[in-house]
Structure 1
């Protein structure tokens, strides 16, 4: 748009001619002196073009710029709203962390079927399932006891075998920032480091009922219903300790040992005070 020599009227300086302009500045010669202004912003309130056709083209430019400015302001507002929500979540998270009381049974064991086994280890997460009754029917179960001190145990049993032969396949700490009370989708992701998958030979030596017992029925080994159940922190420590002793590869053994030490620290347990495994299998 060529505006050189176009006549204008300024609210304060009166009539003048445009002598120079670019994409951001415009220079106008008035009777007494030349003045520079921001282009095209000055035309919004202070400056009027005499040439109507050029003025219409300039008005379109101003409208497009105004729309772009509004879009930028909307994006900034959206960003501020996002930051505000992140801040609220962070404060809620810090509050939960500050007020968190260590639950003695904040570990979770899963019964994995054939379909779940592959995804559990490839994606390193499990799904807590859906609520089957009540007002929240159909919504994901919220693993409310799980916190940063929690680990998830993955188990399976061949349909042709008795329940007492249930094997441990792997274990992982929950994600570093995971809080069960805030989990809305039911997925429990693994820690970036502390995750272990056992070999077939190792799993055969890690029977779940060696560690787990229903104190109401100490001699019974029945799962009954549900995909998961909570169990004692000390039992998970026993399992991790035994996994360490199973590992022959130096790197895997080192990771298992670090996992065990991290778990004990997070659950305020000491190796020296850890009781021997006394699950239902040990009481037969």
Structure 2
């Protein structure tokens, strides 16, 4: 914007005329001397243009500059907040896990048969089943890896559908103070707040094998036997992140985000550093 020869009035030096201008400095000739000022900042408070059209154009430039500065400040504050949150997360984690060694695969995926697809959502609990052989045959399995940082993923395969199409039905955090090693009855109750159920349409968009992989057979989608298996903490975080994106209802999405935030805190996971899923379906 060319302001050379434009008349101005300064609150201290009076009336003058602009004689030089570049991207950062403007020079003005007053009655007895020339003065240099920072451009365009000086026009914000101390200097007024006589030309109304030029003044209006300059006001737009100043407004845009102010918006850019506010955006920069906001980004800086957001970055500081993220750093504080990460520091708090690590500090809280140290307190929460002081007497518990965090296992990298302390999440459970549970196989719901066709007839039991709804029962986990009415009781909000699943059973780890019984020991099949040996001296302890008939006694409940102890879900020894599960702790307060653990979640249970509920999955199913519909009759006549191949295992690769196993889908996610829902997920819940285990109950506060739950310790799998001390579980005598094999029942794994849900947390009172952190529990999510997917609709049929949402479930169809959440294939289990997109996230899970058996490293010994990375391209196979085979369950074999057993009602449950343990898996990686970060995979569960990926699933929760995708559920947040999947939810269209504002209230449900907020609950899913709260779940993810709590889970990430308990497992010392930084959400922004999560990798993309790389399960068996994506390796086939």
Query: TM-score, length-normalised on structure 1?
Result: 0.65
Structure 2 runs not aligned, ≥5 long: 1-95
Cα distance in 2 between the residues matched to 1:216 and 1:276: 20
In the TM superposition, what is the alpha-carbon distance from 1:119 to its structure 2 partner? 1.8
Q: How does 1:145-224 map to 2 (within 5 A)?
A: 145-224=145-224
Partner residue, 1:57: none
Cα distance in 2 between the residues matched to 1:182 and 1:242: 32
Cα distance in 2 between the residues matched to 1:119 and 1:221: 25
Partner residue, 2:115: 115
CA root-mean-square deviation: 1.1
- Where 2:181 maps in the other structure, the secondary structure is helix
The higher radius of gyration belongs to 1
Cα distance in 2 between the residues matched to 1:98 and 1:132: 35
Cα distance in 2 between the residues matched to 1:214 and 1:189: 27
Cα distance in 1 between the residues matched to 2:273 and 2:207: 23
Cα distance in 2 between the residues matched to 1:131 and 1:170: 26
Cα distance in 2 between the residues matched to 1:118 and 1:161: 19
- Where 1:170 maps in the other structure, the secondary structure is strand
Partner residue, 1:280: 280
Cα distance in 2 between the residues matched to 1:99 and 1:256: 28
In the TM superposition, what is the alpha-carbon distance from 1:159 to its structure 2 partner? 2.5
- Where 1:140 maps in the other structure, the secondary structure is coil
Cα distance in 2 between the residues matched to 1:181 and 1:116: 26
- Where 2:119 maps in the other structure, the secondary structure is helix
Partner residue, 1:125: 125
Cα distance in 2 between the residues matched to 1:107 and 1:116: 21
Structure 1 stretch 108-117 or stretch 192-201: which is displaced more?
108-117
In the TM superposition, what is the alpha-carbon distance from 1:97 to its structure 2 partner? 5.9
- Number of paired residues? 189
1:240 aligns with 2:245: no
Cα distance in 2 between the residues matched to 1:130 and 1:275: 36
Detail structure 1 runs of 4+ shifted over 3 Å in the superposition: none
Partner residue, 2:99: 99
Q: Deviations over 1:40-70 (max 9, x none)?
A: xxxxxxxxxxxxxxxxxxxxxxxxxxxxxxx
In the TM superposition, what is the alpha-carbon distance from 1:239 to its structure 2 partner? 0.2
Partner residue, 2:265: 265
- Where 2:118 maps in the other structure, the secondary structure is helix
- Where 1:153 maps in the other structure, the secondary structure is strand
Q: Deviations over 1:114-147 (max 9, x none)?
A: 3322220001000111000011100010000000
Structure 1 runs not aligned, ≥5 long: 1-95
- Where 1:138 maps in the other structure, the secondary structure is coil
Cα distance in 2 between the residues matched to 1:152 and 1:132: 22
- Where 1:110 maps in the other structure, the secondary structure is strand
Cα distance in 2 between the residues matched to 1:272 and 1:155: 26
Q: Deviations over 1:257-284 (max 9, x none)?
A: 0000100000000012111100001112
In the TM superposition, what is the alpha-carbon distance from 1:240 to its structure 2 partner? 0.2
Partner residue, 1:253: 253
